[in-house]
Copies of this chain bind each other. A is one copy, B any other.
């Protein structure tokens, strides 16, 4: 099993992460959370480090971000939604980093290019509900505090530590990793927050390990993290990938592209209608179900009902896809119109 924030992570067994990397299961802490996010209710947010400390804390920040390498996809949507959730439910101040230096170090995208992508990405986050009045939104390349922190932390990290966490990498990637620790610790160091929660995909855990190590050395409060499972590729592959654009939805996809992608998605249907009526569908294999489960069916009862109808063989894939598509396109219409209105604001926020 490989957990690599810069490459392909192959995580087949989420449970193993608890043993191998010492992250903790989220479930036992959820009774302390009143209004649970659907990711919490549905086991999508499944693990954490130090989440209990975050819950017990008063002056809270929630920090994450986006690597501006392309359009906002459903994975980016999950992260933004979690920040928004912790802003609203916990009054946490949001920190949203546009990791343009990482996009350059890791993906070779020049800052001039990612500057335009960043505006588009931030407009998506705002349209999803990120409240800019209670958030600090910035590009790494503009943020001297974060860059200075990367230099500040560097001498306290041995090359052995870097290699143990990230493998043998170029100095540029180590620097990108240190910059991320700057992003994560800025709320504590520059804004005095006692507790910072970092909602991310579990493949980003190495950054948290490094950051907690550094925080301890600098006597800063250790950041907490909450990890979600990956949203799989629409063809059922383990993770969305830029190499397979038909395998994921971006929030910029026009309706006909959304329709095409959803229509082509892997389902849990059987070979024949007769067989499906007899055996029922398999939601756990079905990407239509996953779309609803992760993103487009906020009502637990509705989702449960759908699952039952599917498994009983009552609801067939054609009808189910049509219903799902309707919900998805409804979201898209609302989002894309809101997002269009947010573009100037995003541009303004990022222009300094």
Contacts and interface: CB of A to CB of B under 8 A. Distances in A.
A39 B147 CA distance: 38
A221 to B, nearest CB: 20
B171 A159 contact: yes
A129 B170 CA distance: 42
Copies in the complex: 2
Given A147-B147, A148-B141, A175 B171 contact: yes
Given A144-B147, A147-B144, A147-B148, A105 B172 contact: no
Interface in A90-120: 101, 104-105, 108, 111
Interface stretch (A63-71, A150-158, A186-194, A283-291): A150-158
Interface residues of A, number: 29
A6 to B, nearest CB: 12
A113 to B, nearest CB: 13
A151 B171 contact: no
Most buried by B among A142, A157, A174: A174
25 contacts: A101-B148, A101-B151, A104-B151, A104-B155, A105-B154, A142-B144, A147-B148, A147-B151, A150-B175, A151-B172, A154-B170, A154-B171, A154-B172, A154-B175, A155-B170, A155-B173, A156-B172, A157-B171, A157-B172, A158-B170, A159-B171, A162-B171, A171-B174, A171-B178, A175-B175
Given A111-B152, A151-B179, A159-B171, 18 more contacts: A101-B151, A104-B155, A105-B154, A108-B155, A141-B148, A141-B151, A142-B144, A144-B144, A144-B147, A147-B151, A151-B172, A151-B175, A154-B170, A154-B171, A154-B175, A155-B170, A156-B172, A157-B172
Interface of A: 101, 104-105, 108, 111, 141-142, 144, 147-148, 150-152, 154-159, 162, 170-176, 178-179
